[in-house]
């Protein structure tokens, strides 16, 4: 994606897009961000990890993947034509195209659009802070809770990813976490428990808009940990072990709900609902990427439970 050309960085794939599509925001997956909205989503070639079960390996492992150049200006125009006010940088790994990302995010922000990042969270602290300061919402992979697995199997660095997630929460980005559940790699109960503990601990660093003006009770309501998506892997690329059963995935989600208020399952075809933490009413019910968010109302720029009026853990 980049090389040293006589002492200067060369970016031969700057702005080279391999995919451009209008998606439901639930597909990112973001379940607590602008429910039911559409988002212009673009993908790139390449990745800085080499997960052997990569579900997008045709573009992540091919630096020459087909596509075409799209300028930041064209990208904004395409979003405006589609009538959407948000852009997702997604599919393989956007952070390795940081220069293009920075240009697009700056232009999108100036055009009044929200930037959504879907990433493995692997960037040095300075780049992370620059990109995250332009990001409104992010879904960040937390692939396991093992430094060894990150280093030896995925080709990444565990501490870097944890710090990226903490940085996003601290900067007030709306964060949701995804773990692709791969049997034998990351599905043991002690490891899933450690993942849940880490995510629960993020509530303390999360910054939510308007918290400064809230009284203590409301502030406590707003200090929830990021939603956690437990998504079923399927055999792909070089990994052939069978996928987790729906029963096992749901059991893992039930266990995680002892520690976290918002845990969802993905790639199982099941339903995922979000209930009000105050009165228990259903705020949003999802089937696949379809959502019925009739239990939510937006007042004064914030989401509330339509039944009891309590602040709802949704943003955007």
Residues that bind ligand SF4 (CB under 6 A): 47, 49-51, 54, 56, 60, 92-93, 120
Task: State the Cα–Cα distance between residues 4 and 165, nearest whole angstrom.
Answer: 29
Minimal distance, residue 133 CB to ligand SF4, in Å: 23
The answer to whether 171 and 129 are in contact (CB under 8 A) is: yes
CA distance 254 to 193: 11
**Rounded to whole angstroms, how far apart are CA atoms 63 and 74?**
23
Q: Which is nearer to ligand SF4, 239 or 314 (CB)?
A: 239
User: Least separation, in Å, of the C-beta of 300 and ligand SF4?
Assistant: 38
Q: Which is nearer to ligand SF4, 49 or 164 (CB)?
A: 49
Cβ 310 to ligand SF4 shortest distance, Å: 36
Of the pair 16, 34, the CB lying nearest ligand SF4 is at 16
Closest distance between ligand SF4 and the C-beta of residue 132, in Å?
18
Distance in Å, CB of 49 to ligand SF4, minimum = 4
The CB-of-283 to ligand SF4 minimum distance in angstroms stands at: 30
Instruction: Report the 3 state secondary structure along 214-261.
Output: CCHHHHHHHCCCCCEEEEECCCECCECCCCCCHHHHHHHHHHHCCCCC
- Let me know: does 150 contact 143? Beta carbons within 8 Å: yes
274 vs 187: CA distance, rounded Å: 24
What whole-number distance in Å separates Cα of residue 105 and Cα of residue 1? 19
Interatomic CA distance for residues 282 and 286, integer angstroms: 11
Choice between 54 and 123, CB closer to ligand SF4: 54
Q: Which is nearer to ligand SF4, 52 or 246 (CB)?
A: 52
Q: Which is nearer to ligand SF4, 243 or 316 (CB)?
A: 243
């Amino acid at each position: 994606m980049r090389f040293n050309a006589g002492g200067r960085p060369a970016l031969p794939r700057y702005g080279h897009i391999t995919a451009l599509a209008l998606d439901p925001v639930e597909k990112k997956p973001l379940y607590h961000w602008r429910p039911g909205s559409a988002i212009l989503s673009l993908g790139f070639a390449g990745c800085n990890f080499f997960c052997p079960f990569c579900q997008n390996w045709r573009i992540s492992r091919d630096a020459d993947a087909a596509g075409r150049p799209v300028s930041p200006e064209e990208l904004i125009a395409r979003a405006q034509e589609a009538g959407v006010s948000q852009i997702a940088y997604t599919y393989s790994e956007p952070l390795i195209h940081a220069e293009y990302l920075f240009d697009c995010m700056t232009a999108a922000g100036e055009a009044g659009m929200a930037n959504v990042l879907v990433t493995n969270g692997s960037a040095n602290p300075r780049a992370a802070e620059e990109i995250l300061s332009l990001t409104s919402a992010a879904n960040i992979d937390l692939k396991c809770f093992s430094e060894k697995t990150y280093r030896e199997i995925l080709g990444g660095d565990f501490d870097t990813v944890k710090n990226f997630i903490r940085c996003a929460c601290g900067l007030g980005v709306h964060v949701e976490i995804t773990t692709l559940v791969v049997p034998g790699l990351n599905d043991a109960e002690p490891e899933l428990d450690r993942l849940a503990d880490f995510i629960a601990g993020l509530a303390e660093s999360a910054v939510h808009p308007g918290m400064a003006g809230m009284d203590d009770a409301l502030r406590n309501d707003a200090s929830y940990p990021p939603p956690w998506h437990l998504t079923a892997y399927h055999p792909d690329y070089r990994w052939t072990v069978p996928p987790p059963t729906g029963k096992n995935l749901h059991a893992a989600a039930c266990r995680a709900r002892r520690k976290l208020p918002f845990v969802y399952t993905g790639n199982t075809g099941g339903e995922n609902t979000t209930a009000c933490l105050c009165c228990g009413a259903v705020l949003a019910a999802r089937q696949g990427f379809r959502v019925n968010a009739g239990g939510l109302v937006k007042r004064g720029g914030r989401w509330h439970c339509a039944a009891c009026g309590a602040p709802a853990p949704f943003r955007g």
